[in-house]
Structure 1
Amino acid sequence: MASSTGRPDVAAILAHPSYPDTIWKLTPTKSEYLPVGEGRGGPFKIHYEVHGKGPIKLVWIMGLGSRKSAWQRQTFKFGHEEGDKYSSLVFDNRGMGLSEKPLLRYSTSEMAKDVLEILDRIGWTAERELHVAGVSMGGMIAQELALMIPDRICSLSLISTAAQIQNTTSFVENLRTRVNMFLPKSLDKSVSDAGHMLFSDAWLDSPDDTQVPTASTPNVELPESGTYGMFETNYERFAAQELTKRLDVEGFPKKGFMMQAIAAGWHYKSPKQLEELGDKVGRERIMVIHGTKDNMITVPHGRRLIEILKPGVGVIKEGIGHVFMLEDTKWHNEMVVNLIEKTENLNVGKK
C-alpha cells in the first residue's frame, strides 16, 4: 500500500522480503561495553565495535538519534572489504542504541570525552594516528574531540555539520521544524518526515543500487536466504533502516533523543575556537562537506564553517541532502580515502 506521498507505507516496508536483511551482520574484530564518565555523572557504559585489523585507524562518530549500524556502508568497506588496511571504530553515543542512557545534561564536549575514553582504553593514542569522521551532531562531537587531542588527529572530516545551529530560514519555519521533531505522530508520518529532512527527493525515488555484502566478503554472516536482498527504491531501504531503529523502544528512547538534541542545539564553537582548531590540527588535514538539499542542518551552516575554518578541502555539493554516506556513498568514501592518503603522506614527510 502507498502512503500519501506515493511511496510504500510502513506496513508494506515491514512486509518486504528484504526487511529482515536491512542491518547487515558484519562481524566485528572486537566488541564490548566500556564504562566511561567516572566523575562526569557516570560511570555508564558505551557499546563500541572495531571492524578490521589494519594499521590505518578510522573513528566514525554518528549523529542525533542514530545508531552505529548507520555506518554499515563504511564499516563494510573500511573494516571488511579492506579490513587488512583499515581498522574502523564505531559506537553508540550515550542515550542511544546499546549504550546506556544516563539521565543528565548532555553536551557535545562531554560526549567527546566519552569518545576519548574509548580511544585511550583501546590504545589508539599515537601522534597523528586518528582519522576522525563525524556527521551532523557527530561532526560537532568531532570538533570538540579535535580540540582536545589535536596532535593525535591525522585527518578530520566534518560532514553536514555546524559550529552552531542558527536560524537560516524564517522564524516561523525554523520554529515549525524544531517543534515537529518532538511532536507525537504516527510511525508512517515519522518515517516520511525523516526521509524529507535527511535526503533529496531525487535520491529517495531512485532505484536501490546499494552494494551489499556477499559470500566473498570477509567476516560477514549471510542471512538464511544466502544473499542480502535489495529494495525497489532508496526510500524503501532508508525506511526499512529507520524502522529497525524506531521499533527498538529500548535502543531508541525518547529521553535519549531529547538529551542528544539538547547537546546538538547548544553546541557552539566561536570563530576564534575554529581558528584554533585549524591551527592545531592543520587545515590541510581537515575536510568539510555539505549538501545544498540538507533540510536538517541547512547549507548556510556548511558555508560558514568553510569560510571560518578554511579547511584544506571544503565542498558544497549540489543536490545532496544531509546523509552523504548513504545518499552518495561512493563519492563520500572516495573523498575520505583521498584525505586519508594525503594526510598519511604528510605524516611520512614529517618523519
Structure 2
Amino acid sequence: MTGSLKSPPLLVRAPSHSASALDLPPDIIDGLRLYSAPAPEVEAHPEFPYVTWRLEPAQKGKVAVAANRGGPLDIAYEVHGHGPIHIVWIMGLGGFKTAWQRQTKDFSHTQADKYSSLIIDNRGVGESDKPMMRYSSSEMARDVLEVLDHIGWTEKRQLHVVGISMGGMIAQEVAFLVPERVATLCLVSTASGLFNTVGFVENIRNRINLFIPRSIDNQLAHVKHNLFTTKWLESPDDHEYTKQPFPTNCDRFAAGEISKRKDPAHFNRTGFMAQAIAAGWHYKSPEQLREIADKVGRERIMVVHGTEDRMITFPHAKVLIEGLEGIGEQQKGEVEKRLIDGQGHCIPIEMRAEFKTWLEGLIAKRNA
C-alpha cells in the first residue's frame, strides 16, 4: 500500500521532466487506427444515429439549484424504473447522463419493478446549465442533493450511490454531507485526491483538442488508449443495436464521442474545463475518508478499480482504500474491494455483466 495523501494538490501536473511524456508513440496510434474507422466512416455508419439508446424515463425534468451558491442554475435529470431500490448514478468528467445507459437498462428497464435509477447531467454538460464559474466536487454534490430532495428521495439509508471517476469524487462528497441517507456507496475508478498523474492531464488535453476537427482521429486514439484496454477496443461490438452493430467496440466509443460534438450547446469547452478543474482540486483527507466510512459503514462501501487504469492510476485506489479502512493499528474494518488485474478506467462498460453482479450483491446485502 502507498502512504496516505497528506495535503491537497494545488495543481494537477504532469511530471516536469518532459512534455513528451504526454505523447503516445506513433506505433500505438497506428495500432489503434487498425481497428477504428476514420471519423467520417464512423459517422456514416447506419448505427451512428442510435448510439445513444432510446430509453424512456419514468420522470424527467430540470431542477433550479444553487440559489444561494452562485446560481440559480438548472440541472437536468431522469428517473428510470419505479422500483423500491433507489440508485443514484453520478457520471464522470465530460460525460452525459446517458453514458449510464447500459446500467440504466440493466437495472431500471430490465428490472423496472425492482430498481429506480436517477441519472443527471452534472453542471457543465448535457442539458444542464454551463455557467462560467469555478466548480467544485462539493458544490456538484450539493446539486445532486437538491435534485434528490426535489424528487423526494429523502429517507434514511435510501440511496445506493454509484460514482465513476469525477463522479466518484462527487459521490464521496454526497456521502460526507448526508451519510445517514446512504445505503451503499460504490466508488469506481476514482480518487480521494489526484497526485502527479500523466493520464488525467493527457486525457484533459486530448478531450479539449477534440473540439478541433482536423485532429479528431489522432485525439480519439489518445482518449481511447487512456480509457479502455486494447483487448476491449479491438473486440467486435456486441452491444444492443437498432440497425446493425459497429465493427468494433472502438468504433462504438468513437461514435459516442463524435456524436457529443455535433451539438455544442450540450458539450463545450467552458463546461468541460470547469469540470476538469473541479476534479483536479478534489480532496478528501484520510480523516475525512475515515469519517465517511465510520458514518456510512465500511460494510456498505465498495471500491472498484483496474490495475491498468491510465486515467486515474491504481495507486489512487490504494490511497482511497487506506483512508476508508485506516492503516495498521488504526484499521477499523474493510470495505469491499474489486481490484481488477489488467483492467482500465471504464470498468462498467468493459465488464458490464460483472459490474452488475457486484453492485447487485452489495445492494442485496444491505437490503436484507
Q: TM-score with structure 1 length normalisation?
A: 0.89
Alignment equivalent of 2:152, drawn from 114, 123, 133 = 123
Aligned residues: 326
Structure 2 contact 303–337 (Cα < 8 Å) conserved: yes
Structure 1 contact 21–229 (Cα < 8 Å) conserved: no
SS at match of 2:161: strand
Structure 1 contact 291–319 (Cα < 8 Å) conserved: yes
| Rounded Cα–Cα distance in structure 2 between residues aligned with 1:124 and 1:142 | 16
Identical-pair percentage: 51
| Cα offset, 1:245, TM superposition | 1.2
Structure 1 contact 191–243 (Cα < 8 Å) conserved: no
SS at match of 2:142: helix
Relative distance call for 1:251 and 1:174 in structure 2 (3 A) is: closer
Alpha-carbon displacement from aligned partner over 1:124-173 (angstroms, at most 9, x marks no partner): 0111010000000000000000011101100000000000001156xxx8
1:46-65 pair list within 5 angstroms: 46-65=75-94
Matched to 2:290, the amino acid is E
**Structure 1 position 108 matched with structure 2 position 108:** no
Q: Where does residue 30 of structure 1 map in the other structure? A: 59
4+ residue segments displaced more than 3 Å: 173-185
SS at match of 1:34: strand
| Cα offset, 1:195, TM superposition | 0.8
Structure 1 contact 291–320 (Cα < 8 Å) conserved: yes
Alignment equivalent of 2:313, drawn from 291, 298, 312 = 298
| Rounded Cα–Cα distance in structure 2 between residues aligned with 1:110 and 1:298 | 25
| Rounded Cα–Cα distance in structure 1 between residues aligned with 2:237 and 2:170 | 31
Relative distance call for 1:102 and 1:176 in structure 2 (3 A) is: closer
Matched to 1:31, the amino acid is K
Relative distance call for 1:113 and 1:176 in structure 2 (3 A) is: closer
RMSD value, Cα: 1.7
1:209-288 pair list within 5 angstroms: 209-210=238-239, 212=240, 227-288=242-303
Structure 1 contact 168–300 (Cα < 8 Å) conserved: no
Structure 2 contact 197–312 (Cα < 8 Å) conserved: no
| Rounded Cα–Cα distance in structure 2 between residues aligned with 1:343 and 1:279 | 16
| Rounded Cα–Cα distance in structure 2 between residues aligned with 1:306 and 1:228 | 43
Segment drifting more, 157-166 vs 289-298: 289-298
| Cα offset, 1:69, TM superposition | 0.6
Structure 1 contact 303–316 (Cα < 8 Å) conserved: no
Structure 2 unpaired stretches of 5+: 1-28, 326-333
| Cα offset, 1:180, TM superposition | 4.6
Structure 2 contact 58–78 (Cα < 8 Å) conserved: yes
SS at match of 2:49: helix
Alpha-carbon displacement from aligned partner over 1:57-106 (angstroms, at most 9, x marks no partner): 00000000010010000111111110110000001000100001111110
| Rounded Cα–Cα distance in structure 1 between residues aligned with 2:260 and 2:357 | 28
